[in-house]
Amino acid sequence: MSYAALIIHIKKTTALDQVSGLLGWDQETQMPVKGGVQRAEHMGAMESVLHARRTDKRIPDWISAIDQSSLNAVEKRNVAEAQKSYDNATKIPADLAEALARLSAQSQDIWANARKAGNFKDFAPTLTKMIDLKRQEASARQTSNASLYDALMDDYEPGMASGEMTDLLAKLRPGLTDLRARIADSGCAEVKLSGDFNEAAQMEFARTLPEMFNYDWDAGRMDLAVHPFCSGSGGDSRITTRVSEQNPFDNIYSVIHEVGHAVYEQNILHADTMAPAHKYASMGVHESQSRMFENQIGRSREFCEFLFPKMQAAFGDIGVESGKDFYKAVNNVQSGYIRTEADEVHYNLHIMMRFDLERALISGDLSVIDLESAWNDRFKADFGVEVDSPANGVLQDVHWSVGLFGYFPTYSLGNIYAAELFAKMQDTIPDLNGKIAAGTLDEPINWLHENIHQYGRVLPPAELIENATGHATSEMALLKYLNKKFGDLYGV
């Protein structure tokens, strides 16, 4: 009885949370410009409804009345997630929640203006306030033996301690800086596409990609957005992309990346029931799916050979003459400033510096006035290049301005998980490379359904990945994959 009442309550809250998600999707893809005034009211009204439901005093009563011994594993997971959600919502004092909401609403604009003006000082006071509030939030939610940063990271990667994440990334860093330096010294010429990549042709091509990865169009759709994202789950898992006529890869790999997220969401068992056990496991696991589709599969030699004639058919002369050169163009390594444009070698170096800097900000070891120089020093050390402007440096990401501390490391964890899972698939699926070269991805995708997707949140994320790979997760699979791939490409 108590269990049923609890779950009915939680499912309805999830339904309303999905409605908020749809409002966000609509705002980014469909809403007319003058709709913003009303939309702020819509979002605010939904947020207050959700907050009231999440802090409903009946939740702890229901939970304490449940005889846990009568529950199966999924039911236990549902109760644990309900408890956690209640704790998180109630531990934060109302005035702190309000201050965070107010600051988040303002600070994104302040950050955007500072970035445009190229002046970190314009953003520094706001960031200082944000860090102060996030420290208060972390302190309110902190459990014994956990750092403030742990409390924040737990929102995105439940159950993983920041110490564990620190070890994993610390072991990755020297291998990456070494590989990066060797490639920079290789003297290889850049291979680049050239041709007519007009928007209409790009979108026609982009629309052929999702089904290659078994995306179910009856359970989703694709629209344009400034920053591509995936929205929804189960029977309604939508993707977005964007078009740059200068760089068709932006569109192609945005689609493949978001399809990785969406195919995961479409295949979580019972996702449509909206029970807490039937949602994605963690941001790291989510990112492992998008990254594997994008990199291990989408940027592989085999898939590039498969894609190359299709690119020629869609765009005519694309400025490269062979699948091998096309593969080189796809995997061009360059020490750029911008994380979101980074190649596979540089991407995790971007993440690690943000991870180290934000941990220091939250712990108090680094103050905001020293952040810009700390960023620039670290960038020079890891990328071998001086940052030329704040917009290309410390002001490039939106995350900190909206209070997302503890999110960045899940990107790298996703890459580590993707490499682990792909190595296992290589061992398990006969002639996987041949199948990728033929564009027949049923087997690898079904393997992911069976070993990852279907479980949703029934298992803790680390256990889910270890069950799939058969061993504890380490950075080694990713380093091995990158050294082999880029060692071959650059002859280093």
Binding region for a copy of itself (CB under 8 A): 11-12, 15-16, 18-19, 22-23, 26, 30-39, 41-42, 44-46, 48-49, 216-221, 232, 234-236, 238, 272, 274
Sheet with 236-241: strands ordered across: 222-224, 236-241, 230-233
Q: Which is nearer to a copy of itself, 211 or 427 (CB)?
A: 211
The residue among 1 and 37 lying less far from a copy of itself, judged by its C-beta, is 37
- DSSP labels for 121-140? HHHHHHHHHHHHHHHHHHHH
Rounded CA separation 337/384 (Å): 11
Q: How many CB atoms lie within 10 A of CB 67?
A: 8
Minimum separation from the CB atom of position 206 to a copy of itself (A): 17
Nearest 5°: phi and psi at 108?
-65, -40
Question: Looking at beta carbons only, is 81 or 370 nearer to a copy of itself?
Answer: 81
Is residue 443 within 8 A of residue 142, CB to CB? The reply is: no
| One-letter amino acid for residue 110 of the chain | I
If you write DSSP's letter for every residue of 48-59 in order, what string do you get?
Answer: HHHHHHHT-THH
Q: In angstroms, what is the minimal distance from the CB of 57 to a copy of itself?
A: 16
The answer to whether the beta carbons of residues 254 and 242 sit under 8 Å apart is yes
Least distance from a copy of itself to the Cβ atom of residue 277, Å: 17
Beta carbon nearer to a copy of itself, 233 or 396: 233
Of residues 198 and 273, the one with the C-beta less far from a copy of itself: 273
CA angle 410/271/216 to nearest 5° reads: 90
Tell me whether residue 12 or residue 480 sits nearer to a copy of itself (CB atom): 12
> Measured between alpha carbons, how far is 237 from 407 in angstroms, rounded to an integer?
22
Q: Which amino acid is at 64?
A: S
Minimum Å gap between C-beta 50 and a copy of itself is 10
Choice between 20 and 474, CB closer to a copy of itself: 20
- For tokens 């108090």, name the residue: 364
| Nearest approach, Cβ of residue 286 and a copy of itself (Å) | 19
Least separation in angstroms between residue 276's CB and a copy of itself is 14
Catalytic annotation, residues: 258
Q: How many beta carbons lie within 10 A of that of residue 260, not counting itself?
A: 29
Residue 148: other Cβ atoms inside 10 A = 22
Q: How many H-runs (helices) and E-runs (strands) does the chain carry?
A: 21, 3
Give the residue carrying structure tokens 């989510």.
Answer: 286
Selection from 240, 328, 231, 342 nearest residue 280 by Cα: 231
- Smallest distance from a copy of itself to CB 302, Å: 31
161/159 Cα distance (integer angstroms): 6
Q: Output phi, psi for 179, to 5 deg.
A: -60, -45
Beta strands in 184-281 (DSSP E): 222-224, 230-233, 236-241
